[in-house]
C-alpha cells in the first residue's frame, strides 16, 4: 500500500480508502455485520488506514455504519493507526443541497455541535480525524456561525480537521469556501465518465494544498464491467440504472475494456489507476462490502500509473450526466 498526504491536514492516508456506506446496510441490501467486520479487518491488515463513513449511513437515524466502525476500532491494537472521516448530514434531509435554501435549514448551528457529539459517541472515540459537511452550497460562506462552530469544535479537540463533501457533479461549488482556510479537504465525484473536476477543482486544490477524496470511482458499478441486461441490484441502483441506462453503460464499458492493453487486467483496475494517476488525488474510496472487494482494490496501490497515451484516450470516454437527479 502506498500513502499520500491529505492536503494541509498532514495525515498520511492510504491511496485506497474504505468507503463505508455499504456496510451501513440501509438502502444497500445483502451486507452482514460479520462480513463487514471481516472486510474491515482485511483492509487494515493490507495497509489501508483511511475509513470514510457518515452519520446517516444506515437505516434512517440508526447510524449503523458509524457504530460498526466504532466496534471495529475497539478491536484494533493500540499501536495501529487508522484515520476516520465522517459527515454531518443536512437537517432538511436533502441531497444535494438545493440552491437558494439558507444554511440555517441545512446545517442549523446547534446541529453542527450535536452531530459531532453523536458521531463521537457512535465511533467510541475522543476526536474525529476529519469531519465533513455532507452537502454544500458555496454561498454558505457568507454566514459566520458555521465558521465559529468549526473553530470551537477544533479548539475543544473534538475534531482535528474539516472537509466538505460537495454536491453531485458540482466540482466548483466550494471554491469560495475553501478560501476561508477552515476547510482542509474536499470529497468529490471523480471517475472516467466524470472528468470535469480536472478543469478547476484539481488545479485549485494543488495550488492551495487541499486534500482530495475521490468518491464514486466506479460509477455505482457502471465502471466495473459486470453489469448485464439481466442484472438486478436490489438496492437504489435499480433506479440509478433504470430504463435504457443499463444498456448504455454496458456499451460504454465494453469500449473501455478494449483500451486496457497490458495496463489493467479489468475495468475496476483501470478506473482506480485512472484516479491514482492524478497526483492531486489524496485517496480514492470505493465502497467495499466483501473481502474480495478489498483485495482487488488494494492491489492497485502498487505505484504503477497509466501511460500518458491511455490517459489521453480516456478523455474521449467522458459521459457527463446525473443519474442521481430524479428529473434527469
Helix/strand/coil (H/E/C) assignment for every residue in 135-196: CCCHHHHHCCHHHHHHHHHHHCCCEEEEEEECCCCCCCCCHHHHCCCCCCEEEEECCCCCCH
**Contact between residue 259 and residue 313 where contact means Cβ atoms under 8 Å apart:** yes
Residue matched to cell numbers 493490507:
46
Which of 92, 13, 90, 10 minimizes the C-alpha distance to 49?
13
Contact 191/213 with Cβ under 8 angstroms?
Answer: no
What does the DSSP assignment read for 78-98? TT---EEEEEEPPTT--SSPP
Task: Summarize the confidence of residues 1-20 as an average pLDDT.
Answer: 98
268: which 3 cell numbers? 475496476
Q: What is the CA radius of gyration of the chain?
A: 19
pLDDT in tens, 39-94: 999 999 999 999 999 999 987 678 999 999 999 999 999 889 999 999 999 999 99
Domains in the chain (CATH in brackets) are 3-317 (3.20.20.100)
Quick one: cell of 291? 473481502
CA distance 222 to 252: 9
Predicted local distance difference test score (pLDDT) of residue 328: 85
Question: What percent of the chain clears pLDDT 90, i.e. is strictly above it?
Answer: 91
pLDDT of residue 173: 98
User: Percentage of residues in the chain with pLDDT exceeding 70?
Assistant: 98
pLDDT value, residue 170: 97
**CA–CA gap between residue 115 and residue 61 (Å, rounded):** 12
pLDDT at res. 122: 97
Q: Which three cell numbers stand for residue 317?
A: 470516454
What number is the average pLDDT over the span 130-156? 98
* pLDDT reported for residue 59: 72
State how far the Cα of 57 lies from the Cα of 124, in Å rounded to an integer: 16
31, pLDDT greater than 80: no
Chain position carrying cell 451501513: 24
What's the pLDDT score for residue 30?
58
What is the model's pLDDT at position 234? Answer: 84
The predicted-structure confidence for 203-241, as pLDDT tens digits, reads as follows 999 999 999 999 999 999 999 999 999 999 888 899 999
The predicted model scores a pTM of 0.96
pLDDT of residue 236: 87
User: Which residue's entry shows cell 443499463?
Assistant: 246
- Residue 156 CB-density burial (10 A; 0-12 exposed, 13-18 middle, 19+ buried): exposed
pLDDT score at 287: 93
Per the prediction, the chain carries an average pLDDT of 95
**Per-residue pLDDT at 7:** 98
Q: Could you tell me which residues are beta bridge partners of residue 186?
A: 164, 212
Question: Does the structure show a pLDDT above 90 at 303?
Answer: yes
Q: Are the beta carbons of 211 and 186 closer than 8 angstroms?
A: yes
Shortest CA distance to 45 belongs to which of 304, 300, 288, 291? 291
pLDDT, tens digit (0-9, with 9 covering 90-100), for 66-81: 999 999 999 999 889 9
Asked if 14 and 43 touch (Cβ cutoff 8 Å), the reply is no
Give every CB contact of residue 59 below 8 A, 6+ residues apart in sequence: 25, 26
Task: Give the H or E element holding residue 254.
Answer: helix 245-257
Retrieve residue 35's grid coordinates. Answer: 462480513
Amino acid at each position: 500500500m502506498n500513502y499520500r498526504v491529505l492536503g494541509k491536514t498532514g495525515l498520511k492516508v492510504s491511496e485506497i480508502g474504505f468507503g463505508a456506506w455499504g456496510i451501513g446496510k440501509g438502502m444497500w441490501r445483502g451486507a452482514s455485520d460479520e462480513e463487514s467486520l471481516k472486510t474491515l479487518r482485511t483492509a487494515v491488515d493490507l495497509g489501508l488506514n483511511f475509513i470514510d463513513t457518515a452519520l446517516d449511513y444506515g437505516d434512517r437515524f440508526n447510524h449503523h455504519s458509524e457504530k460498526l466502525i466504532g466496534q471495529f476500532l475497539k478491536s484494533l491494537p493500540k499501536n495501529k493507526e487508522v484515520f476516520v472521516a465522517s459527515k454531518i448530514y443536512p437537517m432538511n434531509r436533502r441531497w444535494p443541497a438545493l440552491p437558494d435554501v439558507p444554511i440555517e435549514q441545512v446545517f442549523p448551528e446547534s446541529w453542527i455541535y450535536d452531530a459531532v457529539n453523536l458521531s463521537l459517541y457512535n465511533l467510541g472515540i475522543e476526536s474525529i480525524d476529519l469531519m465533513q459537511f455532507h452537502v454544500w452550497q458555496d454561498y454558505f460562506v457568507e454566514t459566520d456561525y458555521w465558521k465559529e462552530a468549526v473553530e470551537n469544535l477544533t479548539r475543544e479537540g473534538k475534531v482535528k480537521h474539516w472537509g466538505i463533501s460537495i454536491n453531485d457533479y458540482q466540482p466548483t461549488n466550494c471554491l469560495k469556501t475553501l478560501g476561508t482556510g477552515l476547510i482542509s479537504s474536499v470529497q468529490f465525484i471523480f471517475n472516467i465518465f466524470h472528468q470535469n473536476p480536472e478543469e478547476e477543482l484539481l488545479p485549485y486544490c494543488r495550488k492551495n494544498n487541499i486534500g482530495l477524496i475521490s468518491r464514486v470511482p466506479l460509477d455505482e458499478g457502471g465502471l466495473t464491467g459486470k453489469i448485464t441486461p439481466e442484472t438486478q441490484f436490489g438496492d437504489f441502483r435499480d433506479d440509478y440504472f433504470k430504463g435504457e441506462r443499463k444498456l448504455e453503460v454496458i456499451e460504454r464499458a465494453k469500449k473501455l475494456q478494449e483500451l486496457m492493453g497490458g495496463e489493467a487486467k479489468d475495468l475496476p483496475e483501470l478506473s482506480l489507476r485512472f484516479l491514482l494517476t492524478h497526483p492531486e488525488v489524496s485517496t480514492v474510496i470505493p465502497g467495499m462490502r466483501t473481502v474480495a472487494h478489498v483485495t482487488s482494490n488494494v492491489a492497485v496501490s502498487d505505484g504503477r500509473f497509466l501511460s500518458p497515451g491511455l490517459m489521453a484516450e480516456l478523455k474521449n470516454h467522458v459521459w457527463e450526466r446525473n443519474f442521481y437527479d430524479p428529473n434527469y
